[in-house]
Structure 1
Amino acid sequence: MSYFGEFDGVTEPSKQHLIRFLQQSRNFLSDVIRNRLVGFGRVHDLDLFDAETRGQAEGLIYDRDRDFKRIIDAVDHLPRASEALSKHGLVGAPQKLRLLAMVRLENRVGFFRNEEIIKKILEDIDNILDATRDAPEFASNEYGPKASQYQSSFIYAEMKANIEEIQKMIGILLQNVQRLARRPVARKGKFANSRGYGGAAVDGQPAVVS
């Protein structure tokens, strides 16, 4: 079983491929939190949480699943031919390269440290979520303030909040993956603590869910 292997050979990613990617990203994040990653070998060595913080994280899985469902519903509202999808690299050649990179990452399991592969997949998911968050605003400008768009505007506003919650969780997972890899916890760029990703991993302890 593979999380992203189904995208191997996809030459022209569409909106439906984006939706499927979001579904598989939800599965990947859920399995990372539960320490049940499929195809990653010695998963017991990849436990990102201690007993206390694991309970907090697993308690939020349902909420993050709900967030993904709302994001998928919002993406489904975007017109299939919307320029917003191509403008943000969510279809066509740019998305093809992103998806192919994730396929190749999964194929490297067993050849590279699992922590490094998981870290890169988490970063790639975060990047695509960034683009997904910005697409609806462009779509609103593209089609103008039609009456039928008002309901969608509420859906898109909620979607942004949902994406932010998922990205907070990704930030916490990234901190704990780096802890396992015995690398400095210091963040750079978009994963800096200033973005508000919960507590940092300190003195070898897992970052906590906030």
Structure 2
Amino acid sequence: MGVSSELVKYQEKMQKAEAALQHELGGIRAGVANASLLNRVMVEYYGAPTPLNQMAQISVPEARVLLVTPYDKSSLKDVEHALLASDLGLTPMNDGSAIRLVIPQLTEERRKELAKQVRAAAEKGKVAVRNVRREMMDSLKKAQKNGDMSEDVLHDLEDEAQKITDASIKNIDGITAAKEKEILAE
């Protein structure tokens, strides 16, 4: 059994949990225009739900403005409808060839609410990392029980697994702190 390759496999799973958190936090509006806000918007396009970012160019012409320019101008109404139906809380302004979304200034109350969402998402990420750690420890103990490694090697690998877990939790804390700072700033 390639024990070190097993640890690498679990480390990659933890990194995926970190990436998932980063992706989820990208969708939380922080009072500034960011194209990733529209990543989850799906447009009904010729009867099929299509991601908005695959059918339109999304740019940030100003700090608080997103400009959505559909590649197919005939889909402008569909894009506008999808933006209205999304949970973003933004009102699209259709000028006939593109749609502007103005990101409003956040109130203090809304900032605190978003910071809570960020912390909740971070906690889900930490739980995912801890689940991977438990899975990793179970795998190591099973390998030791099967006679694949000695008690000393098991102890060393458990220490290594804990170091990997601690590093991943620290990364999640860093990602969270950066997003909270972004939200609470201004």
Q: Name the TM-score, length of structure 1 as normaliser.
A: 0.32
More strand by share: 2
Higher Cα Rg, which structure? 2
More helix by share: 1
